[in-house]
Structure 1
């Protein structure tokens, strides 16, 4: 059944009003079977894709947890909402979304929805209850295994406490121990924090389903896992699930980083990425895939509960991540000030009953498009999401003539302030770095972004065209401070006087 709306012909069936959004953290797109990994063990996420739409060019607005998640919640780009740093590594930015800011969750709540979030929040110090949500979230960048509620849950279920062995860590300068990358948990899967999140999610889902069935009250439930963010602490079954011989090292694994911003080499040192040989890296990547598989298993338990509760035909589902992870690509780990696709591309799957049918969409979509689509599902105005657009028509397989032809992303720092802006097309990527050299990659012949051709004369025309388009979009968005820097420091055909003027400009003639 379809019905007209003020925005045109509604293609979402009228019974589809509920939403479940699964979000993972630091999740590469090449870890899922539905996105091409033949060795992945992700049948449950793949099942969402089988009834959904896989977006092959999903991007995060910023490849760091708090800004990306705050963008999804507020529907604004990071430079607008200004929550720009993870609280744990605050670099003098705000780490609290103002309570007065618009959020899609509060909008749903105000229009009669049950709204909840379970698991990782990480949107700053103002918690979900300030934005219309039932709060089942937990603080931290990584699994907070010392959390008193989790410890009590272990005790109530006669499960062993957290303990680990076989610690994988690199070496820092001076042969000092570096960050822990992986370890074996002395716990069964039933005792993991991932199981704890899934159990809490199922309990909240049962509550919302009862209210929906008895009172017609729709719901939106976010289930946010902390993984597969490093460190990878897994039970033996999952630590050894994937055969390292099935792992192909990233094509950029041998990147020399020569001709690129020096901060990238500094990050390689910080994460001790050269401490491991090729076979060790294959094992670490296999463990990372095993972590994804364990999360997939818990998502399967939640999907089973949704089927048992008779929700599958009435409930849209999204699967996404806040950003990706390097996991050895470009000799890097974690994420940071390097705007490679490894951390900016994200899994993006939409399953909307009556709309999607196992199709694939190759248009550029952003994490901020998910709240706009949820608003569309709820029958509310998607334009309230300032910087996102509903992907409903794309997910249906329709052509949207005015859809974005490229993607622009931003970065504001991790550990220390650093400004970056990037524009990516199907053929090229331009990265403007205020602290050192800029970058240009020809994705046609260099899809793994190994060779920076920014200063190569043959690319002068392309570089100028991309810079002009990036500058135009930054000005249009209101990102004027960075645009002004670009106009002064980047060789392209835009005069400085076209940027915001000071009072002195009018008299200095």
Structure 2
């Protein structure tokens, strides 16, 4: 089975027609969803690029693989996977797979994609590397103009400095955009792999629609801001929430930009999504032209979501809201029925799925569970909750989350915990953690999170054992043996 893995960065699930957006044109991804399995509740293990991508590569939760932060803002964590880390690419290579990765790597500083067996231009970092030699050669070979932007959009930081670049007009035709370049390189690899005849894994990782949104005119102005309805959570007051969320709102300068700018930013973000959809369409069309559609499984997902103004925030950060933790997830396997699944599944589950499709043993992907049964329309016993974690960006900030059919609990050791009723309060505006009527829900989720963390080996559970109602303890919190009776030993 050939494997085509399409991935975006910082992609809101509600920007796709297949997920209900009535305005944004995403015909190619909508077609993929209509012919495959669309997962309605697909989550990232952590809403930050490098740790999420490392989880996909290894099939391990972040606390286990320990690559916990993007290197650009690293505050002392590992910057590369350990030497003994399992990766799905090594398993596929052992079965003679051709391996290609075109686009964003962002998986370490000393090791690049080639270190794990992938072919393709080495494209490090979090944003489009528009000064990369291979991209510059592509422009020169095709007589295309270089990258140039104007009219940058920024807010104002708390210290009065200009804020982060949010968007700008890009003075290039679509054929010169980094997105078009990536799709072109992916198609070149696809053609070469098809000619070789051996099975292949080919990933195309777009850097967008991650901010800043740098787009040509026809995409920058594609959508009328009047179509944009600002998220209801822009009414966020941060009352009863961890103070870091208000600080992050100031860092992203949301309140320094008027509502019309916020609407324009969302409209431009939509344009970015459409641009990427068109490039994915080029790849999928070429796949069909090469006659590979019946022998190739296709995945589409993202590493995490984006706030785009929700909760008066941009980007992502230390707030475990649906906006950044729920992501698109579409898988099309030849012969499997078109469907929509409601199970709570995880980006990390893609790892075991890839391994199973390739005929490899999925068990080394220890925190991953194959989705192949779900994709084939089966009804396996599937967990009724999902976990996520966060370790910081700019500064250490540990969080753990459990989400079930209706409720979400977030544990914040340095601050207040959060509990949301996702049915009555889908915008997560009201923290119910201290509300008496939610005492039983709080106790149930706390105990379940504690139990699952212990089963995983995530030492975050020690904090919970001290601080919250998790029932009777069955371990010594000091990790000592001071209170144990000495073992009776017979003299030699």
Distance verdict in 2 for CA 1:174–1:75, change over 3 Å: closer
- In the other structure, the counterpart of 2:229 is 248
Is 1:108 the counterpart of 2:87? The answer is no
| Contact 1:109–1:133, Cα closer than 8 Å, also in 2 | no
| Contact 2:443–2:469, Cα closer than 8 Å, also in 1 | yes
Deviation at 1:505, TM superposition (A): 5.1
- In the other structure, the counterpart of 2:468 is 490
> Secondary structure in 1 aligned to 2:370?
coil
Is 1:398 the counterpart of 2:346? The answer is no
Q: Compute the TM-score of the two structures, normalised by the length of structure 1.
A: 0.93
Query: For this pair of structures, how many residues does the alignment match?
Result: 485
- In the other structure, the counterpart of 2:341 is 361
Map 1:171-320 onto structure 2 (within 5 A): 171-212=156-197, 217-320=198-301
- In the other structure, the counterpart of 1:436 is 415
- In the other structure, the counterpart of 2:132 is 147
Q: RMSD between aligned alpha carbons?
A: 1.5
Deviation at 1:378, TM superposition (A): 1.2
- In the other structure, the counterpart of 2:350 is 370
| Contact 2:46–2:52, Cα closer than 8 Å, also in 1 | yes
Deviation at 1:442, TM superposition (A): 1.3
Deviation at 1:150, TM superposition (A): 1.2
Deviation at 1:503, TM superposition (A): 3.7
Is 1:160 the counterpart of 2:139? The answer is no
- In the other structure, the counterpart of 1:413 is 392
Bigger Cα displacement from structure 2, 252-261 vs 381-390: 381-390
> Secondary structure in 2 aligned to 1:253?
helix
Deviation at 1:36, TM superposition (A): 0.6
1:186-244: CA deviation from partner (whole Å, max 9, x where unpaired): 111111111111111111111111111xxxx1001010000000000000100011121
Deviation at 1:306, TM superposition (A): 0.8
Distance verdict in 2 for CA 1:113–1:496, change over 3 Å: same
Is 1:383 the counterpart of 2:368? The answer is no
1:401-455: CA deviation from partner (whole Å, max 9, x where unpaired): 2x11010100011011110000001211100001111111111211111001111
> Secondary structure in 1 aligned to 2:405?
coil
Unaligned stretches of 5+ residues in structure 2: 487-492
| Contact 1:33–1:42, Cα closer than 8 Å, also in 2 | yes
Q: 2:25 aligns with which of 27, 31, 41?
A: 41
Is 1:465 the counterpart of 2:444? The answer is yes
Q: Distance in 2 between matches of 1:355 and 1:297?
A: 25
Bigger Cα displacement from structure 2, 85-94 vs 375-384: 375-384
Deviation at 1:383, TM superposition (A): 2.1
> Secondary structure in 2 aligned to 1:39?
coil
Deviation at 1:251, TM superposition (A): 1.8
> Secondary structure in 2 aligned to 1:412?
strand
- In the other structure, the counterpart of 1:9 is none
| Contact 1:71–1:368, Cα closer than 8 Å, also in 2 | yes
| Contact 1:255–1:330, Cα closer than 8 Å, also in 2 | yes
Q: Distance in 1 between matches of 2:354 and 2:335?
A: 15
> Secondary structure in 2 aligned to 1:302?
helix
Q: Compute the TM-score of the two structures, normalised by the length of structure 2.
A: 0.96
| Contact 2:47–2:324, Cα closer than 8 Å, also in 1 | yes
| Contact 2:352–2:369, Cα closer than 8 Å, also in 1 | yes
| Contact 1:484–1:500, Cα closer than 8 Å, also in 2 | no
Q: Distance in 2 between matches of 1:419 and 1:504?
A: 30
> Secondary structure in 2 aligned to 1:143?
coil
Map 1:125-144 onto structure 2 (within 5 A): 125=109, 126-144=111-129
Q: Distance in 2 between matches of 1:329 and 1:427?
A: 20
1:384-412: CA deviation from partner (whole Å, max 9, x where unpaired): 321111111111222112x1101010001
Q: Distance in 2 between matches of 1:356 and 1:366?
A: 21
> Secondary structure in 2 aligned to 1:177?
coil
Distance verdict in 2 for CA 1:383–1:163, change over 3 Å: same
- In the other structure, the counterpart of 1:60 is 44
> Secondary structure in 1 aligned to 2:103?
strand
| Contact 1:464–1:493, Cα closer than 8 Å, also in 2 | no
Q: Distance in 1 between matches of 2:106 and 2:221?
A: 30
Deviation at 1:320, TM superposition (A): 0.3
